[in-house]
Structure formats: structure tokens, C-alpha cells
Structure 1
Amino acid sequence: MSIRRLPEHLINRIAAGEVVERPAAALKELVENAIDAGASRVFVRLSAGGTALIEVVDDGSGMDAAAMALALERHATSKLPESLWESGAIEGVTTLGFRGEALPSIASVARLTLESRPREGEGWTRIVDNGAVVHDGPAALPPGTRVKVEGLFERVPARRKFLRSPRSEYAACLDVVRRLAMARPDIAFSLEHDGRRSLSVQGGDSQAERVAALTDRALFDNSVAVDFAREGVVLGGVAGLPTFNRGIADHQYLFVNGRPVKDRLLVGAVRGAYAEMLARDRHAVVALFLDVPADAVDVNVHPAKTEVRFRDPALVRGMIVSGLRRALDAAGHRSARPSEAALGLWTSEGGGAASTRHPSESWDLPVGERDAYNEETPAFAGVTTEVSRTVRDYRPTFFTAPPQARAEPATEPVPSTVAHHLGAARGQVARTYIVAEAEDGLILVDQHAAHERLVLERLRVGLANGGVRAQALLLPEVVELDETACDRLEERITELSEFGLDLERFGPNAMLVRATPALLGQGDVIGLVRDLADELAAHDQALSLRERLDHVASTMACHGSVRAGRVLSVAEMNALLREMEVTPHSGQCNHGRPTWVKLRTQDVEKLFGRK
């Protein structure tokens, strides 16, 4: 078969397949053009997920008739500065688009109507139907540009049949607009689908406000600002608290020099930064904006410009991990507050909504239940408190003396709630949760989760100061494992000794434990060593030294923390609260779950119908 030149219409369709594989790709190119044109407002209208209609209207610089004709030719662009024409150094491009393929590619597989007017000129319209110009003439419109794409791939059935359902295509379009709007909080964006407004943000937002408006309004109060710089690279953005997490990674937004990208390196760096603060099936909510020198990143590695390649990927990964960790360190003991949906799960006695029953109304109970409330049965069985009351009768007696109290022997005054963020301990529920009273509400603390974080941070401090103090076992413990697990542990004996864990190979299928970290106390030595072996098997090769040490510390902390079911004295509870207040990341355990939640005073009042 002889070599022949491809016909022009086939060239255009092949180019369209590279640039416009679905409606979201076409929409991305059009919105990027609007942004590059200096628009302050961008309006998007879709129908049938973008397969029937994509319309983008902006108030940017606009084009005259000659420029419009040139814009519909392949490889014609206004986005390369003259200084780059001769050198061809496209890495110096600062605009979102620069290939000059988008409009002609879209026009070759759809009916495209292009209307535009410069600020000091007349409006013009040009209609191209699947590659053929069908109309060219004046138009009346305000300054800016309107692009309408109808019947995408309607005459290319081989491509049309591979499109997903309108709902799926719409979801992809919405994601495109959301990411571009997130990158430019100075621009107002609006999106309508089949006549329904689904996205609307005003220009002039702060970066944190724009990210929260486009993801979750609660993120604004449950996140920290990221601001980190190194070697000419600047990292900014918003990082959700570890307790404010999601089951999928779709809420991670990454931008390089203002360009939304999807990069495995960046996603992996985010996972590494949250490694010891999130369970493996949970994902952080972040929006990170990375600014790097133009010659340090290649933005031309993908036709749709959704991927980038860094000259020094290790530097970038380290930047993200360090920047996120510093920001999260600054969060201290913060934790995500419960949502309104979570508060709605609280009910009054009997399972209904908060009661508004008047005191004069009857409080009758079945006889069997009345008998349960006698002088011998505490009203809150299983609760250890500073003042544990008993109830003589379930019905209120408003004119009798208050019930007597059985108090813990007092050695010091009841702690004040004013001086501390996490308040003063008032009791323990189910031998698992500490109840504390703060100045502005009620705080519940998961004692195991909280202590697990405290132990982890102590291990880190010990490691940074030259090693964790070890405590020798009176009798060495033999832990039987399979040979490969013993091999992994033997390779890490030196690293583990820095944590105070003294291991020695004891035959092919066993390890001998001579000492354990002193701060873990009398723990389950066999379980600890087996869990460490499992951690090394799952993550050893994929992690850096620092990340491996964090995994080891996290596993040790879990084994050395106060267990649920242990009764704590009031002094122990308050000591735990005070240490949480000065410990980084104490708002979440090593698996990303919250260590404490607060019910504000007004929340409690709502539960009882007072507001």
C-alpha cells in the first residue's frame, strides 16, 4: 500500500479525536479560551450533558471578523507571545491554551456558532457545520464572545456511541467548570444544565471561600491554609482537617501554575502527607495550588493539557508533603465539628425529637419501667462522674428537696471550664468516652483515639531527640512468624531500635523481643510485632524512610494507648484533655477519625426544644 496524504476533513477529525474526546473536553477548551481572553464573568449552558448543546458566553476582549476566521483555522493562536515564535520555547507560555486546535477540531465534528465583538468594534458571527462554513456576517451582541456547540459527534456515529449517558457526561462537564472556577476566584462563573442552575459563584472571593463554595461549605471551618515555599517553588491552597475526609479521592484538586491537572505524583504526595492521620479507605479534601518556574515543568505532554511533567519530581513531592504537614501541625488539636445531619441523629427519651412537654403534663411509664427507677439504681448506669445522682421516682417532683448526691472524695476544687479549650472533665460514659464541659458547650472525647494520637506524637518527639527510651523485658518474648515476615523485621532492626523496640532473630521463624518502648507500658508485645510485620509487608517498598518510620510509630501508638473500657479517674481525664490541647494533630487519631466532638450550647438547647 502506497503512502498518501490524508484529506483535510480526515485530518480534522483525527485532531478532534485527540482534543475533543467527550463534551467535557470541548467545554474545557472553550472555558479556557474565555479565561485567556480576560473575562470577568463566564456563563455556561448545557443540554443533554453537553451532547446536544454547549454554550459559553464571556465578557472578555472579543475578536473582529478577521480574527474569528483565523481562529477557526488549525494551529492558529493568539496565546504565544512574539518572543516565543522564533525560539519555540513553549514552556514560557502562561495561558491555559496555546495549541490552536480546539475551535477547528470542535467545528469539524459539530455545528459551531462563533459570535464575538471587541470592545471597540462591531460584532460578527460565523457558523461552521461539521467543517463547512454555512454563515458569515454581522451580529448584535455586547463586548465579548459567545460560542455555541450543537450536536457534538452527531455525524460521527463511531464516536457518538462511545459517549456515556447524559448524566455521566454532565458530571464530567460540571467537574471541568468547578476546577477552572476554583483556579480563578477573581472570575464569576455560572453553569446551567437543561434549564437548571447548578453552579454559581461571584468574582472576588478569597481562595478559601471559592474552594469551600465549590466543594463543601463546611470545609471553610474545617480546613487550614497551606503556605509553603522552597527553591523558587510556592505551594498554597486549602487542606481539610484529617477528620473532614471522604470515601473517594474525587475531592482532591491540584493546580500547577493556575492549570488544573491530574497527576499521580501529586496525588501520591497528598496521600503521603496524610498517611498516619487517615485510614486507608479514606481520602483528604484538598485544593493545592503549585507555582513553579516555567522551565521546571512541561505542560505540553498531553493534548488536553491535563497532565504535566516536572523536571525535579522529588522536590515537588517533598514540597507537598512538607507543606501539608506544616499546615496540619499548625491546626493543633482541632477536629471537624459534627454536621447538622449528625446532630439530627440525637433524640430525646423515647426516640422522638426534642420534647417540648410542659412540666405539668403527665410523665407516665409502664409499671415495669417505673420499677427500674428506684433508690438502688443510678439514673445513668455505667457512667462515672464527679457527682453521680440517684433518682427516687421517674416523675418530676418540683416542690420536694433535691435528691442526695454520692460524690467522689474531693481533693481539689472542681476544675474551671473557662481556662481550657477542651473544658473540664465531668465524667466518663460507657468506659470509653470522656464528657467534658467547656465554656461554650459539651465536649465528648474518645479516650482510646485521643491517647493513641498522644502516644504517636510522643514517639515522634523521642525519635527526633535521638531515640525513644526502651524498657527491658524481665523475660524476653518469643514471637513466632513466617520466615518472610522475620526477614522484613530483621532488615529494619536498626530503625525499630530507635523506637525503643529491641528485636533479635531467633531462628528462621521467630523473633526475640528484649525491650519495648517505655512509654507503651505493659502492652501486647506479640500483637505489636505481628502488626509491624504486616505493615512492612504492605507498605515497606512503596514508602520513603520517613513514611516507614511514621507507619511504625502509628502501629506502636495503637498498641500503647488507653483502651476503651478502662475506667479513668477525673484527674486522669483532665490530664488527657490538657495534653490534647498542646499536642499537634490531637483532633484526629492515627486513622483519621475524630478524637473529640463538641455540642455547642445552642445545639444542646435545640435538642431540648429551647430554641
Structure 2
Amino acid sequence: MTISSSTDSKIQILPETLINKIAAGEVVERPASVVKELLENAIDAGATDVHVTVKNGGKDLISILDNGSGMSESDAQLAVERHATSKIYNEDDLFRISTLGFRGEALASIASVSHFELLTCNDENQGGTRILIKGGYLEQLSKIGFPKGTKVTVERLFFNTPARLKFLKTTATELQHIQQHILQKSLANPDIHFRLTHNRQLLLNLPGGQGLQTRIQQIFGEEFLDTIFPVNHEETSLLFSGFISFPSKPRKSRRWQYIFVNDRNVKSPAVNHGIYDGYGIFLGKSQHPAFFLNIQIDPTEIDVNVHPAKTEIRFRNSQLVHTILADQISSALKECASRRFFGREHSQSQMS
């Protein structure tokens, strides 16, 4: 729709650079937001090795190198445009999303508020592509020798939005947020090798390929495994698997709670309440369960297009999800408690 406007009109169409900065305000809240978006791109590209490098909590530099599928020169040029994506093609696709990214605005938003470099290659025989953007303006497009995969480097984040820059927290706080995003992605994708280097010091090195239990052990230690046990359930509407804490091992905080829906780390009252209701009387006042739960469900049964951060989802039938989780976790906990109790009784009777 095209509408002409008179010269004295007070309402004006915003320039593209300003539109991108507004979008960046929703997508890029802090350095960790950049890391999250770039990690999702790497995972969607099929990477098995992802190395995150940051300086001063990501305020000076964020660089993410992956060995995913990479992009051709034409795709790389489109990737830094707003609302350009390879993950959805029509309106119906919004209701069957199976990738982490889909909005097509992350790279353009990030590039509008930083010094942004994209190196990518999908065919080493054809060579790679380098794109350099400063504050939303293309500075350079060239061919470059580069292995298959992608490297995105973001420097001087928020250099042209000083109001946003002054709201950043200390280096330690910003680094903590970055680490949390990497841990979330690593728990959802235990087959991928994740590394984090901060100020030239390797902070995280999480080899992939050994399953969720090993990933939990890598992050939280061997002793933590003694406090959790595996659960899984499958039916036509959904399936879930993961680990939850023993009824006798509650926690004093919610720190050890991770929910994944179709491998996406999410916030979901329906899932959370279902798990807590499943624990029921096993939890005392101010006690919380630990859980690492991955729910697989038909993409048409959920809506992930709720917020630009893509961490909030809606279930088409949230009550059903709540009921299944509450019933199955309650049964698993009761069986676990019974097995531990009667198993101990049985072993004692065998000795007497």
C-alpha cells in the first residue's frame, strides 16, 4: 500500500537506519543478546563446533566462529538485510517453526549498533565472503579465503547509541549473562562442542557427543549427578526426556531449572507449574526441584512468535501439557521413592 503525503505532514516514514536501531532495542539488549542470536544461527546452520570469544564482557568484542554450513556471497548479502531469512517463506511457516531463528532481523539489528564483520563460506573451492558494516552502513564486500563455516565479529557494541551503552552493567555481570546463554544452548545441544574465551582466557570447554548426562556433569560436576535421575515419557501429543532431582534432594533456589521445547530454551508457566505440581508433597516451603527437561512437540502445537527474544512460547493446549507433566513426574517420583525405600528394606532382609 502506497500513500502519498503532503510536504506539511507531521508524520514521516522513518529512514532504514533508524528503523534498524529501533529493532535493535528489542533484539539486542546487551552483549549476551548478541551471543544468543549468533549461537542460534550457528546451531541452525548445523555446526558441531562453536567457539565464542569476548573481551571485557562483550562490551569491546564478541566473536563467534562455527563450522556450520556457511553461506554463499548472495546469501551473505541478504542475511544482513532486515527480515531476510532462510527459515520461513510464508505466513503458514510461522506456525510450524522448527528452527531457533526465524524473524530475520538479528544480524541487521546487531550491525546497526556496532562495527560488524561477517566472514562466511559454504564452498571452499569458491572461496569465502567478507562483509564489513559500521553502524548499519556497508563499508566493504569482498572475497576472502575462509574455511567452510561462519565467523561473526561484533566490536564497539552500542557505539552510536550512547543511551543504551550507559545501561550496560559491569564486565563481570555482562560476562555472567553470556555464560548463562552458552550453558543453556549447551544443555539443549549436548552433541555440539562449545567453547568460551574471555580476555584470552578459556573459561568453558564443553566437548560434545556424549549426551545430556555428560553435559550436566561437565557443567555442574560429578557429585551433582548423584542428586538427579532420568525421566522420559512418550505419547501421541508430546514426548519428554531429561533429568529431575530425587524427591529427597530439593534445592533452595531455582538455579538448576532448565526447560527446553523442541531444543529451544524457554519460559513456560504451563511446564513449570506442571513440574511443581508433579512434585507436590515432596517439596517443602521454599524448596525447589532441579530439572533439565526437553519436550518434543509438533511445531504446529506451539507459538514461538510471541516476543523478539523467542524465549516465551504459547501451547495450543497448555492444560494438556500441564496435566501430562504433573501426572508423569508424580508417578516417576513415587516410583523412585518406592524403589529406593523397598530396595533398601529388601537388601536388609536378605542380610538377616
Decide: shared fold, TM above 0.5: yes
Distance (whole Å) between structure 2 residues aligned to residue 234 and residue 133 of structure 1: 46
The answer as to 2:168 corresponding to 1:160 is no
Deviation of the 1:301 alpha carbon:
0.6
| DSSP 3-state at the match of 2:87 | coil
Deviation of the 1:421 alpha carbon:
6.3
How many residues were matched structurally? 341
Aligned match for 2:76, one of 48, 59, 68 = 68
Aligned match for 1:211, one of 213, 216, 228 = 216
Distance (whole Å) between structure 2 residues aligned to residue 275 and residue 331 of structure 1: 14
After TM superposition, the structure 1 = structure 2 runs for residues 352-501 of structure 1, keeping only pairs within 5 Å, are 423=348
Q: Compute the TM-score of the two structures, normalised by the length of structure 2.
A: 0.91
Deviation of the 1:232 alpha carbon:
1.8
Q: Compute the TM-score of the two structures, normalised by the length of structure 1.
A: 0.53
After TM superposition, the structure 1 = structure 2 runs for residues 272-421 of structure 1, keeping only pairs within 5 Å, are 272-332=277-337
Contact 2:217 2:225 in 1 (8 A): yes
Distance (whole Å) between structure 2 residues aligned to residue 239 and residue 62 of structure 1: 37
Aligned match for 1:249, one of 237, 247, 254 = 254
- 2:194 maps to what in 1? 189
Query: Partner letter of residue 303 of structure 1?
Result: P
Distance (whole Å) between structure 2 residues aligned to residue 71 and residue 183 of structure 1: 25
Distance (whole Å) between structure 2 residues aligned to residue 124 and residue 150 of structure 1: 19
After TM superposition, the structure 1 = structure 2 runs for residues 213-232 of structure 1, keeping only pairs within 5 Å, are 213-232=218-237
- 2:87 maps to what in 1? 79
- 2:29 maps to what in 1? 21
Deviation of the 1:266 alpha carbon:
2.1
Distance (whole Å) between structure 2 residues aligned to residue 112 and residue 162 of structure 1: 21
Contact 1:119 1:144 in 2 (8 A): no
| DSSP 3-state at the match of 2:208 | coil
Distance (whole Å) between structure 2 residues aligned to residue 109 and residue 18 of structure 1: 12
Moved more, 104-113 or 85-94: 85-94
Q: Residue deviations 1:273-331, cap 9 Å, x none?
A: 22311222121110111111122110101111000001111111112212222222232
Q: CA 1:179–1:18 in 2, change beyond 3 Å: closer, same or farther?
A: same
Aligned match for 2:272, one of 261, 264, 267 = 267
Deviation of the 1:227 alpha carbon:
0.9
Distance (whole Å) between structure 1 residues aligned to residue 217 and residue 331 of structure 2: 21
| DSSP 3-state at the match of 1:18 | helix
Distance (whole Å) between structure 1 residues aligned to residue 262 and residue 28 of structure 2: 23
The answer as to 2:153 corresponding to 1:145 is no
- 2:244 maps to what in 1? 239
Distance (whole Å) between structure 2 residues aligned to residue 327 and residue 96 of structure 1: 30
The answer as to 2:106 corresponding to 1:102 is yes
| DSSP 3-state at the match of 1:112 | strand
Deviation of the 1:110 alpha carbon:
0.7
Indicate the structure whose relative CO is greater, using CA pairs within 8 Å and at least 6 residues apart.
2
Q: CA 1:86–1:193 in 2, change beyond 3 Å: closer, same or farther?
A: closer
Moved more, 199-208 or 21-30: 199-208
Deviation of the 1:214 alpha carbon:
2.6
Deviation of the 1:213 alpha carbon:
2.3
- 1:8 maps to what in 2? 16
Query: Partner letter of residue 32 of structure 2?
Result: A
| DSSP 3-state at the match of 2:13 | coil
Q: Residue deviations 1:122-145, cap 9 Å, x none?
A: 012111111112222222322110
| DSSP 3-state at the match of 1:305 | coil
| DSSP 3-state at the match of 1:55 | strand
| DSSP 3-state at the match of 2:243 | strand
Q: CA 1:86–1:270 in 2, change beyond 3 Å: closer, same or farther?
A: closer
Deviation of the 1:221 alpha carbon:
3.0
- 1:175 maps to what in 2? 180
Deviation of the 1:36 alpha carbon:
0.6
Alignment RMSD (CA, Å): 2.2
* Larger Rg, first or second structure (1 or 2): 1
- 2:40 maps to what in 1? 32
| DSSP 3-state at the match of 2:51 | strand
Contact 1:235 1:323 in 2 (8 A): no
Deviation of the 1:50 alpha carbon:
1.4
Query: Partner letter of residue 170 of structure 1?
Result: L
Q: CA 1:27–1:419 in 2, change beyond 3 Å: closer, same or farther?
A: closer
After TM superposition, the structure 1 = structure 2 runs for residues 90-129 of structure 1, keeping only pairs within 5 Å, are 90-120=94-124, 121-129=126-134
Query: Partner letter of residue 122 of structure 2?
Result: P
Q: CA 1:119–1:331 in 2, change beyond 3 Å: closer, same or farther?
A: farther
Unpaired stretches in structure 2, ≥5 consecutive residues: 1-8
- 1:135 maps to what in 2? 140
Q: CA 1:91–1:218 in 2, change beyond 3 Å: closer, same or farther?
A: farther
Deviation of the 1:333 alpha carbon:
5.4
Deviation of the 1:160 alpha carbon:
1.0
Q: Residue deviations 1:375-424, cap 9 Å, x none?
A: xxxxxxxxxxxxxxxxxxxxxxxxxxxxxxxxxxxxxxxxxxx9956648
- 1:407 maps to what in 2? none
After TM superposition, the structure 1 = structure 2 runs for residues 501-540 of structure 1, keeping only pairs within 5 Å, are none
Query: Partner letter of residue 72 of structure 2?
Result: D
| DSSP 3-state at the match of 1:274 | helix
